[in-house]
Amino acid sequence: MSEKEGGGQEVSRRDFLANAAMTVGLVATMGTAGVYGVRYLVPKAKVKKFVDVLVTNLKELTPGVAREFIDATGRKGILVNNNGKVKAFSKICTHLGCEVEWHQLKKEFYCPCHEGFFDADGKNIKGPPPRPLDEFKVTVKDDNIYVALEEV
């Protein structure tokens, strides 16, 4: 190898090509590792599947009445007929996870743990709960009430 005027060494064609191939391989490897690393750290969101489950008959759920139910995963819910408008909510308070109760005379949900109140539409109206109750989709077919619950 001969010296250049600037004091450095001249790089042969073979060394240059070897360094270039190594750099390209390293960049490809790091890019592949980065893609798989991101996939590992941030997995794809699973698409939730729901199934309509028969909970009760409309004749059994007269206006102002509530009925509790449990889905296949063990989560508790409550079905309410508010003057003909049927809704289903999670029975778990959005504050600290206590179970809410339906007060038929006041037509509201009550959480006994920290004095939280929700109206008949599940909206938080008083106390510490930060958001409304979780709501399930309700369908009425032939006087039967179906609630869309997550498939197990």
Residue 72, CB half-sphere, CA atoms under 13 Å: how many? 11
Q: Quick one: how far is CA 101 from the chain centroid? A: 24
Residue 9 has what pLDDT? 81
Number of other CB atoms surrounding residue 101 within 10 Å: 15
Nearest to 130 by CA among 93, 104, 102, 77: 93
**What are the two backbone dihedrals, phi and then psi, of residue 15, each rounded to the nearest 5 degrees?**
-65, -40
One pLDDT digit (tens) per residue for the chain, 152 residues: 445 555 668 889 999 999 999 999 999 999 999 988 888 888 788 888 888 888 888 888 888 888 998 877 778 899 998 888 899 999 989 888 889 999 888 889 999 988 899 998 899 999 888 999 999 999 999 989 999 888 76
Query: What value, to the nearest 5°, has the Cα angle with vertex 82 and ends 79 and 83?
Result: 140
Residue 7 has what pLDDT? 60
Q: Name the token pair of 65.
A: 């009445």
d(CA 19, CA 71): 62
Per-residue b or e along 102-130, where b marks 16 or more CB atoms closer than 10 Å to that residue's CB? beeeeebbbbeeeebbbbbbbebeeeebe
Beta strands in the chain (DSSP E): 50-57, 66-70, 76-82, 85-90, 101-103, 108-111, 116-119, 124-126, 135-136, 138-141, 144-150
